[in-house]
Amino acid sequence: MEKQYRESKLRTIVVTGMGQALAQPDRAVLVLGVSTLATTASDALNTNSTSMNRVMDVIKQTGIKETDIETSMFTLRPRYTHPRDGGLEERLLVGFEILHLVRVLTERNEVSKVLDKAVEAGVNRITPISFTFQKERLHELRIEARQNAVSDARAKADIIATSLGVNIVGVASAIEDAYPRPPRRTYGEGMALRARVGTPISPPHEATVQVSLRVTYIIE
């Protein structure tokens, strides 16, 4: 209790330092798959399974490891007719829809090839593409961003301390919030129409890793 009381009497300045590190992303994350509609749930499942098996085989043939492919979403839902505006007609069951999406991690320069092959194999759903970093590179960028956040926090605290006529004598606490901010490119409708001539994908030149650091400085 005595220690807690002494700490509660500390005079402090609290600031938030922001740090960034920029680099060209070397990996891409694709989420793609097949949506299938059939009159029965079993027919929808069979059709979807056939299509997805073909898609998975083609993706692996591009050189992507099986460990870099994982299911992102699998849903089965009934589909009904929609009454006309203001109508009181009873909704009728028209079939069942299955959506199966997989998350694929690939090299940034292989995106166009993977997408073209996947669409040719039957993919009809593609979510926004994101670009990111390999684990080792991301770790290096976070260290750089963290160092920049520390410098930014201290610079802000020095300005405040000088303005208040006090001195910084220590640090009471520091709380970090780190997260990558990979840029995105969106592709979806019409992908199949362009696949045969090569889908034009332009990876971003830079992506940002940002760290937010909340620091409590002790003053006197």
Residue keyed to tokens 């970093």: 133
- pLDDT confidence of 82, banded at 50, 70, 90? confident
**CB atoms < 10 A from the CB of 65, how many?**
9
The listed range with the strongest mean pLDDT (71-85, 126-140, 151-165) is: 151-165
The predicted pLDDT at position 135 comes to: 87
Indicate if the pLDDT at residue 185 is higher than 90. no
Looking at the structure, do residues 43 and 75 belong to the same domain, yes or no? yes
Number of domains in the chain: 2
- Asked if the structure places residue 2 within a domain, the reply is no
- pLDDT confidence of 114, banded at 50, 70, 90? very high
Looking at the structure, do residues 95 and 146 belong to the same domain, yes or no? no
Looking at the structure, do residues 58 and 124 belong to the same domain, yes or no? yes
- Asked if the structure places residue 90 within a domain, the reply is yes
Looking at the structure, do residues 61 and 45 belong to the same domain, yes or no? yes
The predicted pLDDT at position 207 comes to: 83
- Give the rounded percent of residues in the chain with a pLDDT score beyond 90: 67
Decide: residue 71, CB within 10 A, 0-12 exposed, 13-18 middle, 19+ buried: exposed
Last residue of a domain, one of 83, 110, 132: 132
Structural domain of 70 = 27-132
CATH number at residue 63: 3.30.70.2970
Looking at the structure, do residues 149 and 164 belong to the same domain, yes or no? yes
Last residue of a domain, one of 113, 132, 151: 132
Contacts of 159-163 spanning 24+ positions with Cβ under 8 A: 160/13, 160/15, 161/13, 161/217, 161/219
Looking at the structure, do residues 147 and 65 belong to the same domain, yes or no? no
SS3 label, residue 30: strand
